[in-house]
Chains A and B, each alone.
Chain A
Amino acid sequence: MTDATRGPRERPLSPHVQVWRWHVTMATSILHRVSGVGLYVGALMLAGWAVSLARGPEAYAGFKAALGSPIGQVILFLLTAGVFYHLANGIRHLVWDTGRGFGLKSANSSAWFVLFFTAAATLVLWGAYLMGMI
């Protein structure tokens, strides 16, 4: 009872990221949020693309030149990876919403599959683009 009058005591904190050994399911969880925030910026760029298209050839050429610059290409590459990741991991979340796939083994293997799919799809698309096939 006396403790209550002296204000709150130091309470034990639950373990957080700095104490847990990193695991693939932790990485895929935070990557979903990171890619989502990245795609937020990507959607604003999509709106910018539509506006430049409506404003005419000059604005559209300017927008395309910005995307073609080294920084623009890096952003586009990251957005491509973000789209494929958020898409694949989003489907993983939708499967979980049906109550399936929560077992340790299946959660781990679906996490690795999503990462592998993201890398493969991004590299195939950009490989084709850089080799002039797109």
Chain B
Amino acid sequence: MPSYRTPLSRARGLGAAGHGVGHWIGERVSAVALVPLVLWLVFSFVRLAHADHAEAVAWLRDNPLNPVLLTLLAAVSFWHMHDGMRVVVEDYIEKVSTKATLLILNLFVCVLAGGLAVFSILQVALGGQ
């Protein structure tokens, strides 16, 4: 079967939608990273279920693995959920202005909440509180 794509289009590899497979691959890579991170989070929250403030702070300070994994979990989660919610909006919202508004809102919410989470974790871990 002959290919009707131009050599430039093939070399760019962006496909019919114009943005290639980067988004799709990013969603998968973050998913793979989240498998062990989420299992670790469930395990950690089981341990922290009855912890008061001092015990929770100690958990973040005493072992460097905990703040590092929690920071990674927050960063990768907010990246992954941005990718996921983006697809949901693109699938269900037809009106261009509403779609654009929701996509931007999704990005801002994820970056803001992710930033707050990561900053707070580091602040506690490094002894600011």
Contact = CB atoms under 8 A, between A and B. Distances in A.
Interface stretch (A19-27, A52-60, A107-115): A52-60
B85 A53 contact: no
Interface in A7-63: 33, 36-37, 39-40, 43-44, 46-47, 50-51, 53-57, 60-61
B56 interface: yes
Contacts of B32: 94
A93 B50 CA distance: 35
Say what secondary structure dominates the interface of chain A: helix
Interface size class of B (residues with CB under 8 A): 35 or more
A47 B117 contact: yes
A60 to B, nearest CB: 4
Contacts, number: 83
Nearest to B122: A54
Contact of B116 (A36, A51, A94, A97): A51
A39 B77 CA distance: 10
A50 B116 contact: yes
A44 B112 CA distance: 10
Given A54-B129, A90-B31, A125-B46, A61 B38 contact: no
Interface size class of A (residues with CB under 8 A): 20 to 34
Contact of A37 (B50, B57, B85): B85
A134 B57 contact: no
A40 B74 contact: no
B35 interface: yes
Given A44-B109, A87-B34, 14 more contacts: A36-B88, A43-B74, A43-B78, A43-B81, A46-B74, A47-B120, A50-B70, A53-B56, A54-B123, A55-B129, A56-B129, A57-B53, A87-B38, A97-B28
Interface of A: 33, 36-37, 39-40, 43-44, 46-47, 50-51, 53-57, 60-61, 83, 87, 90-91, 93-94, 97, 125, 129, 134
Interface of B: 28, 31-32, 34-35, 38-39, 42, 46, 49-50, 52-54, 56-57, 60, 70, 74, 77-78, 81, 84-85, 88, 109, 113-114, 116-117, 119-121, 123-124, 128-129
